[in-house]
Structure 1
Amino acid sequence: MQKYKTAKFQIGDVVKHRHFAFRGVIFDVDPIFSNTEEWYEAIPEAVRPSKDQPFYHLYAENAESEYVAYVSEQNLERDDSGLPIRHPEVEDTLVVTDDGGYRLPSNSLN
């Protein structure tokens, strides 16, 4: 039986990468790695994360563009800048709260 680690972050949390200059909002969480082996092997071995930790799907952005990223928990930290996420898909999936945070729409929680 696979034992899963409790995720440190949740859907709607704004996070930033520990080593690369991008940030984003979480829109999905995998309890363990759930991408292709080819994707995993493309990560340099010296910085390749363990598969047995949560991985997060982010609406991500850097200074130049917006994109979707898949990032291990060990490479994320909370982003407390308070800046909004400009990714165009955010409004399709998440609701902006009164305090500027993000959450799933109420009808998707059922």
Structure 2
Amino acid sequence: MECLTIARFRLGDVVQRRDASFRGVVIDIDPSFDDRSSEAMQPFYHILAVGPDGGFTAYTREDELVADPNQAVLHPDDARRLFTVHAEGRFTPVDHALH
């Protein structure tokens, strides 16, 4: 029997890693990743992250992330260059459409 997994976060959501090592924007979701090291399957997310050392892409499982109500993830100039910012505070990468 196939298990249906529903992602907690949407594309464009601002999230933070639970250990506060980075904050970023969800740019892709892998809903069917089977992490054999955890007890349950869960979505993994590609995050365009900002940390102390600058920007990077992180691949992180759902239980390591929390919603981040602070929308100031990037410097405003970087946010305008990399994203379209929607009225509800979600981000769409300018180089490709959201799924």
Q: 2 CA distance for matches of 1:9 and 1:84? A: 16
List structure 1 segments (4+ residues) > 2 angstroms apart after TM superposition.
48-51, 84-88, 98-101, 107-110
**In 2, Cα distance between equivalents of 1:28 and 1:109:** 8
Is the alpha carbon distance of 1:103 and 1:17 closer, same or farther for their aligned partners in structure 2, counting shifts above 3 Å?
Answer: same
Deviations 1:10-53 (A, max 9, x none): 1000000002420110011011227xxxxx79xxxxxx545610
List runs of 5+ in structure 1 lacking aligned partners.
Answer: 35-39, 42-47
Residue 4 of structure 2 aligns with which residue?
4
Cα RMSD after superposing both structures? 3.1
Number of equivalences: 95
Q: TM-score by structure 2 length?
A: 0.74
Give the gaps of 5 or more residues in structure 2. none
User: What is the CA distance between 1:75 and its match in structure 2?
Assistant: 0.4
- Percent identity (aligned): 32
Bigger helix share: 1
Query: Residues of 1 paired with 2:86 and 2:63: CA distance?
Result: 27
- Comparing both structures, which one devotes a greater share of its residues to strand? 2
Change (3 A) 1:50 1:104: farther
TM-score normalized by structure 1? 0.67
